[in-house]
Structure formats: structure tokens, C-alpha cells
Amino acid sequence: MRIPHLPSWVWQALAAIGGFGFIFQQILKPMAAHYMRALLERYDQPVWEIIKQPKYKPHYLTAGKQVYMNVEIPHQLEDIAVIAGRSSYSILKSLKRLEARGKVKELHGGWQRKET
């Protein structure tokens, strides 16, 4: 049903806006979310490579030879930042995203991979 006092170009403009909203919600928004998720996974990959390597507690013998104990300790944020060559804030954001994906956990002021 058409209201007679509105010109036809107004109806066409409203139809175009409504059509764009539908296309945005159904096609463009999910596609952008998928590509953003893939980009962030690629950006977080160097941090994951560092975290998935276990870090063991060093144990020093009297002879001065360094031997590692079988006790795994968490990675410190500053150490990961130095190894990855990124800022601590950037590393922290990557670790939070990895934690949301269930790959790492925060443990005693450090970060460690989750046991699966």
C-alpha cells in the first residue's frame, strides 16, 4: 500500500537502504568477521609458537653445569615480548585471545599452554 503524498524516488531510496541493510547483515558482516578472525589467528601465531614450547625450571649443580628439572614453569609476559619482538600490550592482547580460544591459561603471573 502506497501513501500518495510521497514521490516514487523516496520509495526507491527506502527500498535501496533496506536492501543494503539486508545484504550487510546477511553477507558482508559474517564475511568481515571471518576474515578478521583469520587475520587475528595469523597475528597470534608467533605468540602461540612461543607458548607451546614448554619452559622448565633450571636447576644448578655445584659443578656449575646447568641442568633443567622436570618442573614446567609459566612463560613471563616480558620474555615473550622480547622473543616475539612486539610490545607487552600487543602480546597481552594476543594471549587474551588465545585464552578465549582455550589454548592458554594465566598461571601465577605467567602464561602456560593448556593441557589437552
Which of these, 9, 5, 95, 88, lies nearest to 51 by C-alpha position? 95
pLDDT value at 1 more than 60: no
Q: Cell match 595469523: residue?
A: 42
pLDDT digits (tens, 9 = 90+) for 47-60: 999 999 988 877 76
Match domain 8-113 to its CATH number in 1.10.10, 1.10.600, 3.40.1350, 1.10.3470.
1.10.10
Is residue 111 a contact partner of residue 95, using CB atoms and an 8 Å limit?
Answer: yes
Task: Kindly tell me the burial class for residue 95, based on how many C-beta atoms sit within 10 Å of its own C-beta (0-12, 13-18, 19 or more).
Answer: buried
Give residue 39's pLDDT.
95
Give residue 40's pLDDT.
94
pLDDT band at residue 85 under the 50/70/90 scheme: very high
pLDDT digits (tens, 9 = 90+) for 7-40: 788 878 878 888 787 888 888 899 999 999 999 9
Q: What is the DSSP letter of 26?
A: I
Q: pTM of the full predicted structure?
A: 0.70
Is residue 40 a contact partner of residue 46, using CB atoms and an 8 Å limit?
Answer: no
The domain limits of the chain are 8-113
